[in-house]
Amino acid sequence: MGDVAGVMIAVDGGEVWADEQGDGEGPPLVLLHPGVGSSEIWEPVLAPLTERHRVIRYDVRGYGRSPAPVSSYRQDLDLALVLGHFGVERAVLIGYSMGGATAIAYTLDHPEQVAALGLLVPGVPGYPEPDPPELAAQVEPLALAGDLEGLADLGMSWWGGAGTPPDTEARRLLRGVLGGWFTSYAHEEQLPSCYERLAEMALPCSLLLGELDQPVVVKRNEVIASRIPGCRLVRESRCDHFPTLRVPGAVVELVEDLYRRVG
């Protein structure tokens, strides 16, 4: 994970690792990672982003450099504490998959603190259609057996459709966070339902979807974008659930477009 020192931030009943780089005018840029990778997944886009912006990223409890949780927690409440630590009163949030759900929940509860919202292949709390049952059916025996290599292979078959085998970097990132899936399961509290509130959003927003992602994710992303007023939908034909690896230039452009719209 490189030589970035970062800082440990106290959160309710635990701590999370965070990193701050770059400088620039305008609101700080806060990056919320997915469940398929830690904050390291932002590395392909960090250099161009930190040239223009103050960039903050952190690892959710149990992921990357953050210790496993030992008590109950909620991701949006941890985000609030990270922002408070860095003295951020208003930010541009970029939420990726799991991080997208957190960013949506935080934006709805704290609209005055979010200048713009970028969503990469996001989820949304309260979405009415469940994940495909066949995924759970394939995950369960592997999880019960503690077969992390099998889970990594399954994850790549589901979410890595744009890669060329062995797709080493995407698989390494995914394999590296599988322990976090297990350690967070018993402690993470659900985010408040947000799906029915998406129309309340009134800020610059863009959503990037990968057309080679799972069809259920593509559909969910289309629906989310359609329900957020003025949301710009960016479709990437050669992208799956790993946009920072597959289309880093498109991710950077999405961010820069949001800053232009903030003014």
- Whether the CA torsion 235, 239, 245, 247 is positive or negative: it is negative
**What is the model's pLDDT at position 5?**
85
Short-list 76, 96, 80, CA closest to 88: 80
**What is the model's pLDDT at position 254?**
99
Domain CATH number, residue 122: 3.40.50.1820
**What is the model's pLDDT at position 132?**
87
CB 19 within 8 A of CB 7: yes
Helix/strand/coil for 139: helix
The reply to whether 189 falls in a domain is: yes
Helix/strand/coil for 45: helix
Q: Which residues contact 216 (CB under 8 A, 6 or more apart)?
A: 129, 131, 132
Give Cα 105 distance to the centre of its chain.
12
For the record, the structure tokens of 157 come out as 């078959």
27: domain range?
A: 7-262
**What is the model's pLDDT at position 3?**
61
The reply to whether 171 falls in a domain is: yes
Short-list 197, 70, 174, CA closest to 125: 197
The reply to whether 169 falls in a domain is: yes
The reply to whether 108 falls in a domain is: yes
The reply to whether 1 falls in a domain is: no
Residue type at position 70: V
The reply to whether 2 falls in a domain is: no
Tens place of pLDDT per residue across the chain (263 aa): 556 789 999 999 999 999 999 999 899 999 999 999 999 999 999 999 999 999 999 999 999 999 999 999 999 999 999 999 999 999 999 999 999 999 999 999 999 999 999 999 999 999 999 888 998 899 999 999 999 999 999 999 999 999 999 999 999 999 999 999 999 989 999 999 999 999 999 999 999 999 999 999 999 999 999 999 999 999 999 999 999 999 999 999 999 999 999 97
Question: What's the total number of domains in the chain?
Answer: 1
The reply to whether 183 falls in a domain is: yes
For the record, the structure tokens of 88 come out as 């951020």
**What is the model's pLDDT at position 17?**
99
CA distance 41 to 103: 17
**pLDDT 10s digits, 150-163:** 999 999 999 999 99
Following DSSP, what letter does each residue of 27-43 receive, concatenated? SPEEEE--TTS-GGGGH
Within 13 Å, how many C-alpha atoms sit on residue 152's CB side?
Answer: 19
